[in-house]
Amino acid sequence: MARYVPSTELVERVISGETAAIARLISRAESGIPEAREGLAQIYNRSGKAHVIGITGVPGSGKSTLVAHLAHLLRARGKKVGIVAVDPSSPYSGGAILGDRIRMTELAMDPGIFIRSMATRGAMGGMARAALDAVDVLDVGGFETIIIETVGVGQDEVEIARASHTTVVVSAPGLGDEIQAIKAGILEIADIHVVSKCDRSDANRTLTDLKAMLTLGLSGATQPAWRPLIVGVSSVNGQGFDDLMSALDKHREVTFGTELGRDRQLKIADFRLKKTAENLLLERFNNASNGLSRPLAERLRSREADPYSLANDLVAAVMKEEHAHEPF
Ligand SMILES: Nc1nc2c(ncn2[C@@H]2O[C@H](COP(=O)(O)OP(=O)(O)O)[C@@H](O)[C@H]2O)c(=O)[nH]1
Ligand SMILES: [Mg+2]
pTM reported for the whole predicted model: 0.90
Per-residue pLDDT band at 111 (split at 50, 70, 90): confident
Residue 94 has pLDDT above 50, yes or no: no
Residue nearest atom 1 of ligand 1, based on CA coordinates: 197
Q: How far is the CA of 116 from the centre of ligand 2 (A)?
A: 12
Question: CA-CA distances (angstroms) from residue 263 to 95, 141, 192, 258, 260?
Answer: 40, 26, 18, 9, 5
Mean pLDDT, rounded, of the chain: 88
Q: What are phi and psi of 135, to 5 degrees?
A: -60, -45
Q: Give the pLDDT score at 324.
A: 74
Residue 36 has pLDDT above 90, yes or no: yes
Q: How far is the CA of 236 from the centre of ligand 1 (A)?
A: 9
Alpha helices in the chain, H assignment, sequence order: 7-15, 19-31, 35-44, 63-76, 104-109, 127-140, 155-162, 180-184, 203-217, 241-257, 259-289, 293-301, 307-324
Q: How far is the CA of 63 from the centre of ligand 1 (A)?
A: 7
Q: Cα 136 to chain center, whole Å? A: 12
Closest CA to 167 of 81, 248, 98, 265: 248
> Count of CB atoms within 10 A of residue 132's CB?
23
Per-residue pLDDT band at 136 (split at 50, 70, 90): very high
d(CA 18, CA 228): 37
In this prediction, residues 93-118 reach a mean pLDDT of 65
* Highest mean pLDDT (candidates 20-24, 126-130, 321-325): 20-24
Q: What are phi and psi of 175, to 5 degrees?
A: -110, 30
